[in-house]
Each structure stands twice: as C-alpha cells, then as structure tokens.
Amino acid sequence: MKLHNLKPAGLLIAFCCVFNSALAAPPSAPASYVLENTEVRDIHAQGLNRDYQVYVALPDSYRQGSKRYPVLFVVDANYAFPVVRNIAQRLNKHAGMEEVIVVGLSYANGDGGVYSRRRDYTPTTPRKHDYRSDMPGRQPAFGEARAYGQFVSGEVFPFIAQHYRANMQRKVFIGHSYGSLLGLQFLLTEPRTFEHYILGSPSLWYDAGVMFDREQAYAASHKDLPASVFFGIGGLERLAPGKKRSRSEEDADMVADLREFDGKLKAHKFPNLKTRLRVFEDEDHASVYPFVLTHGLRAYLKSSK
C-alpha cells in the first residue's frame, strides 16, 4: 500500500488497518526464568527401562579452575532441586560454606510425581493399604527402592563422574518423607554409598514400620554401620492429643518414631556410625525441609567462618 498516493480519508483508513493488525498480532511468549549455571540431562535407566532427567547446578567458580566439588544428590527434585541449589549458594556466599555441585533426581518421564515417588522410594509393597493412583488406568506401584537405588549408584554416579568435576568421595544424600525412606534403604543395605545422609521427616510408619524391622535385621548381622547421618523433623509432626500411637499413617507420631529409630541405632554402639537428630519445634511436615537441609549441610560441609 503506497500511503503517499492516498487522500486524507484513505490515509486514515490505512492507518487504522495497520494499527488494528498490530493489535491483532499475538504477543511473543514471555521468557522463561532459568537458574544460572544449571543443566538438564536425560538418562535412561537400563535396569528399570525408564527415562529420567538429572538436574545439575554448578558452583559459581566451576569454570575458573580444575577443582573437584562435593556432590549433593537430591530426590524429589521437582521441588527440592531449586531449594537445595539456592540455600547451598547462600550458605557459601554469606556463611563461608564450601561450594558444591547439586544433582537433582527427577521423577520418571511420563509418570505423575506421586506415582513415581511411591514406586521408586518405598522399600516394600504395603501389606495393607487403600492408596489410589494419580495416573488414570494404572494401579499404584510400590517397593522398588532397591532397584531404583541400584540405578542411582550404578548409572547416575558414573554419569556424573564422567561429565563433571565431582568429588565422588564426598557424596551427600538429601531426602524428605518418602525420600528419606530411600535414604534408609541405602543406609541399611549399602551405607557407604554416600558419605553423609540428610534425612528429613522419614515416613517410619510406612508398611507398619518395616524400617524398624530392617534396622533390627541389619544389627543382627553387622558389627558396624559406617555412616554419617543428620535426622531432622518438625516438632508439629506429633500425634494429636488423645490419639493412640501406632505404626500407621493416620496414628503415627513421627517425632516419637524418629527418636525411637535414632535411639535404636545408637544403642548398638556401631563404632563408625555418627547420627544427630534435631527437632524444629514450630515446623510441620510441609515447612521443615529448608531447616533440615541447612543444619544437615552444616553438619558435613566445611566453613571458613
């Protein structure tokens, strides 16, 4: 359209057409927020025949030298990865804590989060349950913690060691709730898989307290448990007054359960076991994670302050 050949009325019509066309054009999509120095890697779990993603956060100094860094392996990564990455960075910048690589372990591709974590993090199929699946057409799955743990140690560890300057002699496991059940699976089968465990609010009521049975069986056949463990839990994760405590989700006193479990571990006097337990009195199951993480990291990582 040649505007210089149009009369005033035509110019007005042409301007309106151009203006309306601009209004009708769809706006460009807003940019996504991306965490700095982070990467997403795809990995196929050979033994499980499932696909997962691994999220990796590198420290600020990573590109500047040849240093190898301690590695934090974080389950429930869809929530926990950015929390761990940001708190670890803040502790480094403002409290002098050493830098780390953070590795987030995602839920399986195509699976709902609840479905994936129930299957991958739990040690057994509950003898009694009425759980419903969050995935239409699929029954809930449980009890694959051992197989998933083999994927982590046998496939994720070599992948991280190959692609990053990770100090694989300083590996930390970080879990919460069901994620802590997975941590206990490692602890009571292959405790040296990690050099330090941060276990928040473990679901010790699961399957009528099966992890108490596992702890007893381990102690009956081992003279040592070489591990460093930080247990944390919210003080509000207690049983409501008037209710009778049991090994069930509905009537579990998670604080009492954890104190009992930690007490049993200590009673064996394993020479190379170190545990600490902290109850954060004003926190509940949903809010306690950052507190457990911060104190659990301080129990292991070095600080210059």
pLDDT digits over 167-212, tens only? 999 999 999 999 999 999 999 999 999 999 999 999 999 999 999 9
> How many CA atoms within 13 Å lie on the side-chain side of 62?
21
Task: Give one DSSP letter per residue of 195-226, joined into a string.
Answer: SEEEEES--TTHHHHHHHHHHHHHHHH-S---
Mutual angle of helices 77-95 and 289-298, in 10-degree steps: 50
pTM of the complete model: 0.90
Q: What is the pLDDT of residues 20-37, one digit of tens each?
A: 555 555 678 999 999 999
Least confident of 24-28, 144-148, 162-166, 197-201: 24-28
Q: How many residues does the chain have?
A: 305
Give CATH for domain 34-298: 3.40.50.1820
Helices of type H across 76-173:
77-95, 113-121, 145-151, 157-163
Task: Output the pLDDT for position 12.
Answer: 47
Q: What is the pLDDT of residues 54-102, one digit of tens each?
A: 999 999 999 998 999 999 999 999 999 999 999 999 999 999 999 999 9
Q: What are the extents of the domains in the chain?
A: 34-298
Cα–Cα distance for residue pair 63/69, rounded to 1 Å = 12
Write the CB contacts of 106 (distance below 8 Å, at least 6 apart in sequence): 52, 53, 54, 55, 77, 78
Percent of all residues in the chain with a pLDDT value above 70, rounded to a whole number: 91
Mean pLDDT for the chain overall: 92
SS3 content of the chain, % helix, strand, coil (to 5): 40, 20, 40
pLDDT confidence bin for 130, thresholds 50/70/90: confident
